Amino acid sequence: KPCDQNRHALLMELVDGTLLNNITALGDPEKVYRRSLDLMIKLGEHGLVHGDFNEFNLMITEDMRVIVIDFPQMVSTNHPNAAELFSRDVENLANFFHRRFKVTTLFYPTLEKNVERKAELDRVVFASGCFSSRQQQDLERLLQTQLTAQDEVDSEEEDGQEEDEEEATTLSGNASVDVVSAGGTNACGVHAADGSEGEGQAQRHPPGEVGDDDNGETSSVARSLDEVVDEAAIERRGQRQQNVNFNPDGTVNEEYVRSQVRRNIRRQDNHQFNLGLHRNVQKGRQKQKIRRQIKQGMSNGFFD
pTM: 0.45
**pLDDT recorded at residue 149:** 79
Expressed in percent and rounded to 5, the helix, strand and coil fractions of the chain are 55, 10, 35
Give the mean pLDDT per block of 10 residues along the chain (304 residues): 82 89 92 94 94 94 91 89 93 93 86 91 83 69 78 74 67 50 43 42 45 46 65 66 69 80 84 82 83 78 62
CA-based torsion, 103, 104, 105, 106: positive or negative = positive
Looking at residue 54, its amino acid is N
- pLDDT of 107 reads 84
pLDDT for 93 equals 93
Are the C-beta atoms of 179 and 217 separated by less than 8 Å?
no
- Predicted local confidence at residue 133, as pLDDT: 63
Task: Domain ranges for the chain, please list them.
Answer: 2-130
What distance in Å separates the CA atoms of residue 94 and residue 34, rounded to the nearest whole number? 10
Smallest CA-to-CA distance from 120 within 106, 134, 135 is with 135
68, β-bridge pairs: 58
The pLDDT of residue 236: 66
Fold of domain 2-130: Transferase(Phosphotransferase); domain 1 (1.10.510)
Query: Do the Cβ atoms of 70 and 53 come closer than 8 Å?
Result: no
Q: How many CA atoms lie within 13 A of 87 on its CB side?
A: 8
Which residues form the catalytic set?
52
Q: How far is CA 44 from CA 49, 70, 96, 180, in A?
A: 6, 16, 21, 82
pLDDT of residue 5: 83
